[in-house]
């Protein structure tokens, strides 16, 4: 049964969205994560979030410390008030110092926090060890159909993105680099701490819908999911990975035995239009993408989502709606329609309400299961990539992507 109410054009569900630009070339392999990050730590220093137990034990052996200290160190990872090893009081100062030199306690620090949605959404700019910044969003909401709460964190997997969708702010930046797995896990830790500070959380759901293409940062994506499942106890079923359609990597992901939900950012039902909206389509056209997505659903048993950023006069025709409904039927997928969030430098925007309703009606008439999403948090520079862009305009963000000193407001 169709579930969307086309009258409720600006829907209730909140999601992390984003925005940016046009880069014709498409990266086909993981751009490197940095060799090092952290406060002046040397290259190759392991990060606690992704260190496995054996490596931690080896490190303690090297330092001549008892192995039971491993549990003290690990238990600090998800403590809401501990942001550095120096705060782990069970550890003697001598041990804290020595361990601190050998591993990075965290790789992502909150550099800016903007609240939205009456204090239920927090848009964070996280500073990584090399000074680059990524956006992370923490959202608290009521769990659908229950009285319980859910807290969702939306993470970034890259600084920028090489795909260059012309409606997306992150694409406008181009690609600086991919994140490390620990940098993704540490965004979740930072967001969990912010939620906790505001009396919200714990984190129950994760979405890989922040800056970047998660399947171009494959190691960071799969590595962070494994760490988060293991150390934060988040079920893969509560994790959604959104992709612009890197078909070979979808096939690889299907073999990882990690039944995460896959969201395909479709945005167009014909190759002609999709080549323009998602330039990656030129490398992996629709038939290849739909084949890989169908295979993913079959192997993992997970229902797919199809994302559709609805752009007035661009992909809101009834023909596109009919094509989308056909694809949704073929893949037995849920459809998420997201009215486009305006971005600087693009003339495009959401359709007018009548065109939006007509598009939804056409989908519903064809039997599609549809949700309309609203980014919310307009005050918080809603879509991913936008907060960063806004800070850049205010010159908090330096041209090389690192964060500069906060600007003083003019008096008066
Ligand atoms: N790169 C991945 C994941 C991050 S983008 C992907 O493209 O799927 C997450 C979602 O936000 C995608 O569906 C993307 O198309 C959408 N999005 C990007 N810019 C947007 C905008 N300006 N308005 C609405 N949705 C947008
Ligand atoms: Fe933006 Fe995703 Fe397109 Fe990259 S792939 S430009 S993050 S919408």
Ligand nearest to the CA of 156: 1
- How many whole angstroms from 306 Cα to the centroid of ligand 1? 11
Query: Average pLDDT for residues 375-384, to the nearest whole number?
Result: 46
Three-state DSSP at 111 gives strand
**Which is more confidently placed, 40 or 129?**
129
Q: In this predicted structure, what is the pLDDT of residue 387?
A: 54
> Residue 173: is its pLDDT beyond 90?
yes
Three-state DSSP at 186 gives helix
- How many whole angstroms from 17 Cα to the centroid of ligand 1? 6
Q: Mutate which of 17, 165, 266, 346 to test ligand 2's pocket (most atoms within 8 Å of Cβ)?
A: 165
**Helix-, strand-, coil-residue percentages of the chain, each rounded to 5:** 35, 20, 45
For the CA of 161, the closest atom of ligand 2 is 4
Ligand nearest to the CA of 383: 1
Ligand nearest to the CA of 242: 1
Cα(190)–Cα(250) distance, rounded to whole angstroms?
Answer: 28
Q: In this predicted structure, what is the pLDDT of residue 141?
A: 87
Dump pLDDT digits (tens) for 270-302: 999 999 999 999 999 999 999 999 999 999 999
Superfamily covering domain 6-33+107-398 = Aldolase class I (3.20.20.70)
Dump pLDDT digits (tens) for 220-270: 999 999 999 999 999 999 999 999 999 999 999 999 999 999 999 999 999
- How many whole angstroms from 2 Cα to the centroid of ligand 2? 28
**Which is more confidently placed, 1 or 207?**
207
Domain assignments of the chain as residue spans, ordered by start: 6-33+107-398, 48-102
**Which is more confidently placed, 406 or 98?**
98
Q: In this predicted structure, what is the pLDDT of residue 373?
A: 80
Q: In this predicted structure, what is the pLDDT of residue 404?
A: 53
Catalytic-labelled residue, pool 16, 161, 168, 384:
384
- HSE (CB half, 13 Å, CA atoms) of 401? 20
Architecture of domain 48-102: Orthogonal Bundle (1.10)
Cα(200)–Cα(17) distance, rounded to whole angstroms?
Answer: 21
- HSE (CB half, 13 Å, CA atoms) of 16? 32
What residues contact residue 337 under an 8 Å CB cut-off, 6+ apart?
A: 4, 308, 310, 359, 360, 363, 370, 371, 372, 373
- HSE (CB half, 13 Å, CA atoms) of 409? 2
Confidence at 143, pLDDT banded by 50, 70, 90: confident
Cα(176)–Cα(165) distance, rounded to whole angstroms?
Answer: 16
For the CA of 244, the closest atom of ligand 2 is 5
> Residue 144: is its pLDDT beyond 50?
yes
Of 182, 177, 171, the residue nearest 224 (C-alpha)? 182
Confidence at 149, pLDDT banded by 50, 70, 90: confident
Three-state DSSP at 233 gives coil
- How many whole angstroms from 220 Cα to the centroid of ligand 2? 17
Instruction: Return phi, psi of residue 28, to 5°.
Output: -115, -5
Q: Is 135 a catalytic residue?
A: yes
Catalytic-labelled residue, pool 135, 213, 307, 381:
135
The pLDDT > 90 percentage for the chain reads 76
Confidence at 325, pLDDT banded by 50, 70, 90: very high
- How many whole angstroms from 141 Cα to the centroid of ligand 1? 21
> Residue 405: is its pLDDT beyond 60?
no
Q: Does ligand 2 lie within 6 Å of residue 160's CB atom?
A: no
Q: Does ligand 2 lie within 6 Å of residue 384's CB atom?
A: no
Q: Does ligand 2 lie within 6 Å of residue 164's CB atom?
A: yes
Confidence at 374, pLDDT banded by 50, 70, 90: low
Residue 393 buriedness (CB in 10 A; 0-12 / 13-18 / 19+): exposed
Q: In this predicted structure, what is the pLDDT of residue 15?
A: 38
> Residue 27: is its pLDDT beyond 70?
no
Mean pLDDT score of the chain = 85
Around Cβ 202, how many Cβ atoms within 10 Å? 14
Cα(154)–Cα(241) distance, rounded to whole angstroms?
Answer: 10
């Amino acid at each position: 049964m169709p579930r969307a109410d086309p009258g409720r054009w600006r829907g209730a569900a909140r999601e992390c969205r984003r925005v940016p630009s046009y880069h014709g070339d498409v990266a086909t392999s993981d751009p490197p994560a940095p060799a090092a990050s952290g406060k002046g730590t040397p290259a190759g220093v392991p990060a606690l979030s992704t260190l496995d137990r054996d490596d931690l034990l080896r490190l303690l052996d090297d330092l001549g410390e008892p192995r039971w200290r491993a549990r003290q160190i690990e238990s600090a990872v998800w403590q809401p008030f501990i942001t550095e090893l120096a705060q782990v009081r069970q550890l003697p100062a001598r041990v804290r110092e020595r361990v601190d030199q050998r591993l990075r306690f965290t790789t992502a620090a909150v550099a800016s926090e903007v609240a939205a949605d009456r204090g239920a959404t927090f848009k964070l700019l996280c500073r990584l060890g090399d000074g680059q910044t990524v956006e992370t969003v923490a959202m608290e909401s009521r769990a659908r159909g229950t009285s319980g709460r859910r807290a969702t964190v939306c993470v970034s997997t890259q600084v920028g993105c090489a795909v260059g969708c012309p409606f997306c702010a992150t694409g406008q930046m181009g690609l600086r680099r991919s994140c490390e797995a620990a940098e993704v896990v540490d965004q979740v830790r930072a967001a969990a701490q912010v939620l906790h500070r505001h009396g919200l959380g714990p984190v129950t759901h994760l979405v890989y819908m922040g800056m970047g293409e998660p399947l171009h940062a494959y190691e960071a994506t799969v590595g962070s999911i494994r760490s988060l499942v293991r150390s934060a106890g988040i079920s893969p079923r509560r994790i959604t990975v959104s992709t612009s359609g890197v078909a070979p990597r979808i096939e690889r992901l299907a073999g990882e035995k990690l039944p995460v939900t896959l969201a395909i950012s479709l945005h167009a039902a014909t190759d002609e239009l999709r080549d323009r909206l998602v330039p990656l389509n030129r490398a992996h056209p629709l038939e290849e993408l739909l084949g890989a997505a169908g295979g993913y659903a079959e192997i993992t048993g997970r229902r797919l989502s199809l994302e559709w950023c609805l752009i007035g006069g661009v992909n809101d025709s009834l023909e596109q709606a009919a094509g989308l409904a056909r694809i949704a039927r073929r893949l037995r997928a849920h459809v998420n329609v997201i009215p486009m969030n305006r971005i600087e430098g693009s003339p495009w925007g959401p359709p007018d309400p009548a065109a939006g309703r007509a598009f939804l009606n056409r989908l519903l008439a064809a039997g599609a299961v549809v949700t309309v999403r609203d980014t919310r948090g307009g005050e918080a520079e809603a879509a991913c990539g936008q907060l960063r862009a806004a800070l850049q305009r205010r010159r908090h963000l330096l041209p090389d992507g690192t964060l500069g000193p906060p600007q003083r407001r003019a008096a008066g």
